Amino acid sequence: MNPQYIVDAIGTGALYSLMTLGLALVFSVMGLMNFAYGQLVMIGGFSIILLRSQPWWLLILGTILVVVFFSLLMERLAFRPVRNATAMTMLVTSFALAQFLQQLARVAFGANPKPLEQFSELSVQYEFAGLIVSRQIILTLVTTILVLIGLALLLRKTNIGIQLRASTEDVGMAALVGIKSNRVIAAAFVISGTIAAIVAILFFATRTNVSWSSGDSIVLIAFVGAVIGGLGSMVGAALGGFLMGFVYTMLNALLPMELRVFADAFLYTLVIMVLLIRPGGLIAAKGVRV
């Protein structure tokens, strides 16, 4: 086997683990599987197109601000009114929202994919011990590690982080100690939005266009990653997402050419096997409802 595949698989795994974290965080706080999360990444993509000619720091900052704004807007306008409704109602709301945002993007940017000028500086490649590593992969790895460290610090060292973890475990008790759920949930959407923006930057850095349907595949990967990781556990989510990306890339590389079109089928068969062996996911959090 060519070890080069492993480098690529690690890069994809890192990106998928970020995607999964953003989705899993909101789920763990309010039991909402936000299927409009992929559309946040899509919004991030269009924001990159609009900011493409700006300096890199402005592009990053602007994209994060735009996506966080939409994330908060989602929470306030769509999810807060159904917060105490059944899980099914919340789920349907998130599907409806995903559709709405897609159609909105289609109206605003057209049905055809919008071309995105390549980030040629990211395709620069280095050679380490016979392996070719692009800047894009290094950037993805470094960013993922930084986000993981940042998230861990935020959740452990800040008051809002501790309150967020408390709410994750027992919302009712959190209310009894005076934690304001509105604040905690808004914080979760800010973090989730920030992660979606970062995912958008890393993801579209290797694409040539952005389309209204760009978010679709992302949310599916994140969802499955969160489920195999064990819903409600952040470490599990990061791990589950990573495995999704890693295994998928390896399958695409290693399967014989004629079977490669079935890579998805193989991946999801593996997912089902994992869930048969460990129905609660790899790292099961207790008392989680799906």
Partner 1 sequence: MSLLELSGVRICYGNAVAVKALDLHVDEGEFVALIGHNGVGKSSTVKAIAGVVKPTSGSIKFEGNDILGQQPGAILRRGIAVVPEGRRIFTRLTVGENLTVGGTVRSDRVEVKKSSAEMMARFPVLGKYADRMAGLLSGGEQQQLAIARALMSKPRLLLLDEPSLGLAPQIVEQVFDLLEELRKQGSSILLVEQNAAQAIRAADRYYLMRTGGVIESEAAGGDQAKADQVESAYLHFGKA
Per CB under 8 A, residues contacting partner 1 are 159, 162-163, 165-166, 168-170, 172-180
Nearer to partner 1, 180 or 278 (CB): 180
SS3 166: helix
Question: In terms of CB distance, is 87 or 175 closer to partner 1?
Answer: 175
Best CA proximity match to 40, nearest among 5, 75, 15: 75
Does residue 210 come out as left (phi exceeding 0), alpha (psi in the -120 to 50 range) or beta?
A: beta
> At closest approach, how far in Å is the CB of 166 from partner 1?
5
Least distance (Å) between residue 156 CB and partner 1: 8
CB of 27 to partner 1, least distance (A): 16
Residue 183 CB, shortest distance to partner 1, in Å, is 10
Host H or E run for residue 39: helix 37-50
Nearer to partner 1, 180 or 260 (CB): 180
The secondary structure of residue 76, as a DSSP letter, is: I
3-state secondary structure of 129: coil
Q: Of 175 and 259, which has the nearer Cβ to partner 1? A: 175
Token pair recorded at residue 93: 């709301």
Nearest to partner 1 of 158, 209 (CB atom) = 158
* Minimum CB distance to partner 1, residue 167 (Å): 9
Nearer to partner 1, 210 or 234 (CB): 234
CA distance 37 to 19: 9
The nearest distance, CB 162 to partner 1, in angstroms, is: 5
Structure letter (DSSP) for residue 170:
-
Q: Identify the CA nearest to 138 among candidates 119, 150, 125, 154.
A: 125
127 - beta bridge partners?
A: 132
Burial class, 83, CB count within 10 angstroms (exposed 0-12 / middle 13-18 / buried 19+):
middle
Contact between residue 246 and residue 234 where contact means Cβ atoms under 8 Å apart: no
Distance CA(17)–CA(163), nearest Å, equals 24
Whichever of 80 and 114 has its CB closer to partner 1, that residue is: 80
CB of 180 to partner 1, least distance (A): 6
